[in-house]
């Protein structure tokens, strides 16, 4: 009769602790570096505003008509930081307000950071002789030092 031998191999049980660690990152959707997978904010969010190196140049335009700032009616640009929708039409709703230079078809914002902005512009359409206004959200992510935008306006 053959001997039956049992070979006992010790089994080590390794207990894996459930990991309650949450992925860290920027959890604010208005931030330029928002991470939709982040569950815990790590303080890395970056926001729009002044103190950067970007020059934003906005050109108000109605269809194919450039809106040119005049002595009688200067173009005006209103810029809201960290916004994707218009906060309103009052200058107090915005963080920066600039009037256009006479005979220019654009307005500059200097030393801006990357980020999300809402630009609202007003002007005078010399072809239709009507006041025009309009705005749009802009997302500044490029490394370019100067960024140009055409802002659609209407009467």
Report CA torsion sign: 66, 70, 74, 77: positive
Residue 76 lies in a domain: yes
Q: What's the pLDDT at 20?
A: 63
Residue 8 lies in a domain: no
Instruction: Identify the CATH number of the domain in which residue 97 sits.
Output: 2.60.40.10
Query: Is residue 77 a part of any domain in this protein?
Result: yes
pLDDT tens digits in sequence order for the chain, 155 residues long: 555 555 555 555 454 544 568 899 999 999 999 999 999 999 999 999 999 999 999 999 999 999 999 999 999 999 999 999 999 989 999 999 999 999 999 999 999 999 999 999 999 999 999 999 999 999 999 999 999 999 999 99
- φ/ψ bin of 6: left (φ > 0), alpha (ψ from -120 to 50), beta (otherwise): beta
Residue 85: give the domain boundaries: 50-152
Q: Measured on CA atoms in the order 122, 82, 94, 74, is the torsion positive or negative? A: negative
Quote the number of domains for the chain. Answer: 1
Residue 45 lies in a domain: no
Residue 28 lies in a domain: no
- Angle made by CA atoms 45, 46, 51, in degrees to the nearest 5: 150
């Amino acid at each position: 009769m053959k001997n039956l031998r049992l070979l006992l191999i010790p089994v080590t049980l390794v207990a894996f602790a459930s990991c309650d660690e949450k992925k860290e990152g920027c959890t604010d959707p208005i931030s330029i570096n928002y991470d939709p997978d982040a569950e815990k904010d790590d303080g890395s969010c970056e926001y729009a505003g002044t103190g950067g190196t970007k020059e934003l140049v906005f050109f108000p335009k109605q269809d194919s008509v450039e809106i040119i700032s005049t002595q009688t009616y200067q173009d005006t640009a209103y810029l809201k930081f960290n916004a994707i929708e218009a906060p309103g039409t009052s200058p107090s709703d915005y963080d920066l307000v600039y009037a256009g230079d006479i005979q220019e078809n654009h307005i500059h914002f200097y030393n801006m950071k990357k980020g999300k902005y809402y630009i609202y512009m007003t002007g005078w359409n010399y072809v239709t002789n009507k006041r025009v206004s309009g705005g749009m959200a802009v997302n500044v992510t490029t490394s370019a030092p100067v960024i140009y935008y055409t802002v659609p306006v209407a009467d």
